[in-house]
């Protein structure tokens, strides 16, 4: 069995009895990753102050087990070729070369079907874990990637002065327990708009490179920024937990992220998105207090050569669906406490263009995956694809405000109750929910 070995006793100073640590202490990586930080509590490796910190985090995790994962498909995914309305005659009229043929779709309910490269989603749908919301989107008509993404991440369509992100506000609304440095995590090089705000959030591009040795020229920029978040904080409670949090992160580092093994039979796609979800799973399994995680995947702006059952979009959908399915399986029993929501800034035109692609549109499709989700169903009011039913004569109409889906996820997974603080001015409350869970 592979082991993680602490070879420098000075890393820990003394044992919990106050004696100098004069020998090497070993902890199995498998035990750590199975039971998280608690696996090390009670051993001579951990000083007493850190033991208290770990128990506090574990206690918090046991009270609030539910976690929310948000995935952003940047570039405007073509929802009409993702969840195909294959019984709509006009769908095939408007897309002579890129439509998914009826005998190729993975049937869902006799009207809609999944793109054939999304086979990994079909069992999740059939098992009742995956719900689909079609014709969802923003009430703002913008066709600008920059503006539309900003509006969705801020949760305030049409308002450019919003300073924080909807998910950060949801965490503010959820509770005021002792904060964990890992409460809000983004997989990437910077904290996304969605997570910016009063609640501290961290961005981690790669757990293997996440250094927590302290500030200084020999440490990484991420490490320096991470520790500065605590050093410069005026919040006494947050500042007081900084050192203990850093020790907990050292424990994660000692668990050897490079050697993380997903659950038996789980294989993540070998790409940036698959790797990011694998790291989300790793962080959640380590019980470090993760409540909200964010990841994104680009490459959806298919103006040219979009393809149909195969091609550019198909390849992206395969990576997207297989990565999420792998994450779900990797989490095992813990997946029951997770809700994962996907979103994209807008959909694409109902008609294909002259270069075998689609242009910027309006409504799109959202996926909601979770243990408590009432899946196996396509939610939302379908507006139709007849010429007179299209938005501005060219796009699928929005019939479900994206904020309604996100509000329900925040309400039921994070326990956020002040929905008007999260989505100011939006017509959202429990009475408007689609009852996805």
Instruction: Supply the DSSP string of 412-426, one letter for each residue.
Output: III----HHHHSTT-
Cα–Cα distance, 296 to 81 (Å, whole number): 20
pLDDT at 51: 45
* Sign of the dihedral through C-alpha 370, 374, 380, 384: positive
Please report the pLDDT score of residue 56 as a whole number.
47
Regions of the chain with pLDDT less than 70: 1-64, 176-179, 210-252, 254-255
Phi, psi of 71 (to 5 degrees): -120, 125
Residue 57 structure tokens:
């985090």
Contacts of 193 (CB under 8 A, 6+ apart): 149, 150, 153, 154, 165
Which among 309, 386, 392, 328 has a CA at the least distance from the CA of 98? 309
Query: What local confidence, expressed as pLDDT, does residue 230 receive?
Result: 53
* Residue 180, pLDDT score: 73
Which residue segments constitute the domains of the chain, with CATH numbers given?
1-46 (no CATH), 65-432 (3.40.720)
- At 430 the pLDDT is 96
Burial 193-205 (b: 16+ CB within 10 A, else e): bbbbbebbbbbbb
Q: Where are the beta strands (DSSP E) in 66-126?
A: 67-73, 83-85, 106-107, 112-114
pLDDT recorded at residue 335:
97
The structure's pTM equals: 0.81
């Amino acid at each position: 069995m592979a082991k993680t070995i602490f070879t420098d006793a000075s890393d820990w100073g003394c044992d919990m009895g106050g004696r100098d640590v004069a020998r090497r202490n070993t902890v199995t990586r498998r035990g750590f990753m199975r039971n998280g930080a608690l696996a090390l509590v009670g051993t001579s490796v951990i000083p007493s102050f850190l033991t208290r910190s770990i128990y506090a985090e574990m206690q918090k995790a046991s009270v609030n087990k539910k976690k929310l994962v948000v995935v952003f498909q940047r570039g405007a995914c073509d929802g009409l070729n993702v969840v195909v309305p294959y019984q709509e005659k006009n769908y095939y009229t408007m897309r002579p070369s890129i439509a998914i043929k009826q005998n190729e779709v993975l049937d869902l309910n006799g009207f809609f079907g999944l793109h054939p490269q999304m086979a990994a989603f079909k069992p999740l749908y059939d098992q009742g874990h995956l719900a689909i919301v079609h014709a969802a989107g923003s009430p703002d008509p913008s066709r600008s990637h920059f503006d539309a993404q900003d509006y969705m991440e801020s949760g305030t369509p049409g308002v450019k002065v919003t300073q924080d992100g909807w998910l950060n506000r949801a965490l503010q609304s959820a509770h005021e327990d002792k904060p964990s440095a890992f409460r809000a995590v983004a997989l990437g090089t910077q904290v996304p708009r969605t997570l910016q705000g009063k609640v501290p959030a961290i961005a981690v591009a790669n757990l293997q490179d996440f250094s927590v040795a302290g500030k200084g020229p020999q440490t990484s920029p991420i490490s320096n920024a991470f520790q500065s978040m605590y050093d410069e904080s005026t919040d006494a409670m947050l500042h007081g937990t900084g050192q203990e949090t850093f020790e907990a992160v050292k424990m994660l580092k000692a668990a050897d992220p490079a050697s993380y093994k997903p659950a038996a039979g789980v294989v993540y796609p070998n790409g940036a998105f698959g790797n990011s979800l694998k790291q989300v799973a790793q962080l959640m399994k380590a019980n470090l207090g993760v409540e909200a995680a964010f990841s994104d995947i680009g490459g959806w702006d298919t103006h040219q050569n979009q393809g149909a059952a195969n091609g550019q979009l198909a390849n992206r959908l395969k990576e997207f669906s297989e990565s999420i399915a792998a994450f779900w399986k990797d989490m095992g029993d813990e997946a029951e406490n997770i809700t994962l929501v996907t979103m994209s800034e807008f959909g694409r035109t109902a008609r294909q263009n002259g270069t075998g692609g689609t242009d910027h549109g309006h409504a799109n499709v959202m996926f909601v995956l979770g243990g408590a989700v009432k899946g196996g169903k396509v939610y939302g009011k379908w507006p139709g694809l007849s010429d007179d039913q299209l938005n501005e004569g060219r796009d699928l109409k929005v019939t479900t405000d994206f904020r309604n889906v996100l509000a329900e996820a925040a309400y039921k997974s994070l326990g956020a109750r002040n929905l008007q603080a999260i989505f100011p001015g939006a017509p959202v409350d429990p009475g408007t929910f689609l009852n996805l869970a």
